[in-house]
Structure 1
Amino acid sequence: MEDDDSEHLALIRRWLAGETVDNTVGIKIVSGPFHGQTKIVELDQSGLPPAGFRGRPGRTSGPWNSAAKHIYLAVRAPDAPAGWIYKYAGADTAADG
């Protein structure tokens, strides 16, 4: 079991480093409430990540409206390990649950 755990952790480290493994990669998030985090995504048949995502920062204190859904878009970034970043595009304050 320990070998399975270490193999799994090694795979996650590769994704977080921006390496594409099994058509999956970790993409850095820039700005907004998720700044500095990495989203692990599956690439499509063309090798492109999902165009974007929306998320809530939770109930943490800070400048972000926790009731809003914050929008991120995939942007090509040749200087990023995966070649892509998710860039903050703003908040959808009218979003439902």
Structure 2
Amino acid sequence: MGDENSEHLALIRRWLAGETVNNTVGIKIVGGPFHGRTKIVQLDQSGLPPTGFRGRPGRISGPWNPAAKHIYLAVRAPDTTAHWTYEYAGIDTTTDA
């Protein structure tokens, strides 16, 4: 079981380093509450990541406000290993899930 765990961790390290493995890659997040984190995503058949994502940074005091989601968009970044970053685009104020 130790070898399986080591192989899995090695795969995750490769993704986090921006290497594409099995059409999956880790993309750095720039700006907003998730700045500095990495989102691991599946690339499409053309090698493109999902165009973006919305996220809530975690628990906040008081009731959860579904309108307080932060928007990130995929942007080409030739100076990164993955060739993409997710850049902060602002707050999504729509109420859809």
Whole-Å separation in 1 of the counterparts to 2:92 and 2:21: 33
Q: Which runs of 5+ in 2 are unaligned?
A: none
Q: Which runs of 5+ in 1 are unaligned?
A: none
Residue number in structure 2 paired with 1:41: 41
Residue 73 of structure 1 aligns to a residue whose secondary structure is strand
Is the Cα contact below 8 Å between 1:69 and 1:91 reproduced in 2? Answer: yes
Q: Which amino acid aligns with 1:42?
A: Q
When normalised by structure 1's length, the TM-score is 0.89
Residue number in structure 2 paired with 1:10: 10
CA displacement at 1:59 relative to structure 2: 2.1
Alignment of 1:24-35 (within 5 A): 24-35=24-35
Alignment of 1:1-97 (within 5 A): 1-59=1-59, 67=65, 68-96=68-96
CA displacement at 1:81 relative to structure 2: 1.6
Report the count of equivalent residues.
93
Is the Cα contact below 8 Å between 1:16 and 1:27 reproduced in 2? Answer: yes
When normalised by structure 2's length, the TM-score is 0.89
RMSD: 1.5
